[in-house]
């Protein structure tokens, strides 16, 4: 609340001399609202704020759990590509699957430096990079996830995810499993099996760094 000072009429001069003009006793001044106090406390303690995914859903620090009232899924089936940062050198440390309201989520957590990029698209057949051998993936469609800016563990100093491979869906509806391929010449590849070419979207989160692939429910 903003208080404006007012002039002191001459007839009230005696009262002014006793109580002052346009001032407030610090002991009785209004305190900050509870919301202001909480915000200041959170800022001063460095509390971690929630991250927000493209659908406006707030996720917890691990990016895995969201609140209620999730908007309609807005993905599509077109390839999704994002460049890695110039200093990116990361290794995938963990892969997780989970179920959200209206879509499934696959998370690729990474360690190292910089921000990874990605190239995610549906492919007719899964082939291992380097060898070219076919990769078995359960499902009616295969979503190939290529993470760029990747490095071998000896270069990043980070231990690479070791399975289970394939990783089954965790209560998922569209995602059947995730088959890990390999890291080769700056890219790490995984194949997400789905029950059809469902719409999807891709984005990144920080703290820790991860690339999130969300696959919508089939109609």
The Cα 10–Cα 83 span in angstroms is: 73
Q: Which domain holds residue 141?
A: 78-216
Provide the whole-model pTM: 0.70
CATH number at residue 175: 2.60.40.3500
Residue 60 lies in a domain: no
Residue 215: CB atoms within 10 Å:
28
Question: Rounded to an integer, what distance in angstroms lies between the CA atom of residue 152 and that of residue 184?
Answer: 8
Residue 45 lies in a domain: no
* Residue 73, pLDDT score: 72
Domain count, the chain: 1
DSSP H helical ranges for the chain: 13-19, 34-45, 153-156
- Asked if residue 19 is part of any domain, the answer here is no
User: Residue 57 domain-assigned?
Assistant: no
Q: Write the Ramachandran bin of 46: left for phi over 0, alpha for psi from -120 to 50, otherwise beta.
A: left
pLDDT-flagged residues of the chain (< 50): 1-53, 55-70
Number of neighbours of residue 110 by Cβ within 10 angstroms: 29
Residue with tokens 């290529």: 146
Q: Is residue 207 part of a domain?
A: yes
In a domain, 188, yes or no: yes
**Rounded to whole angstroms, how far apart are CA atoms 111 and 97?**
18
The length of the chain is 219
The answer to whether residue 42 is domain-embedded is no
């Amino acid at each position: 609340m903003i208080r404006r000072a007012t002039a002191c009429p001459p007839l009230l001069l005696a009262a002014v001399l006793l109580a002052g003009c346009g001032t407030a006793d610090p002991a009785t001044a209004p305190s900050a609202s509870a919301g202001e106090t909480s915000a200041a406390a959170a800022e001063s303690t460095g509390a971690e704020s929630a991250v927000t995914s493209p659908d406006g859903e707030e996720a917890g620090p691990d990016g895995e759990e969201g609140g209620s009232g999730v908007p309609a899924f807005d993905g599509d089936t077109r390839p999704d590509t994002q460049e890695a940062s110039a200093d990116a050198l990361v290794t995938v440390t963990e892969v997780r699957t989970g179920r959200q309201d209206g879509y499934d989520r696959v998370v690729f957590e990474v360690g190292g430096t910089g921000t990874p990029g990605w190239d995610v698209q549906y492919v007719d057949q899964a082939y291992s990079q380097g060898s070219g051998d076919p990769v078995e993936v359960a499902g009616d469609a295969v979503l190939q996830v290529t993470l760029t800016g990747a490095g071998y563990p000896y270069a990043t100093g980070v231990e690479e995810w070791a399975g289970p491979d394939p990783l089954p869906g965790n209560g998922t509806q569209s995602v059947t499993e995730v088959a890990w391929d390999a890291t080769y010449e700056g890219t790490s590849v995984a194949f997400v099996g789905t029950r059809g070419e469902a719409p999807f979207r891709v984005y990144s989160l920080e703290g820790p760094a991860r690339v999130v692939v969300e696959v919508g429910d089939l109609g």
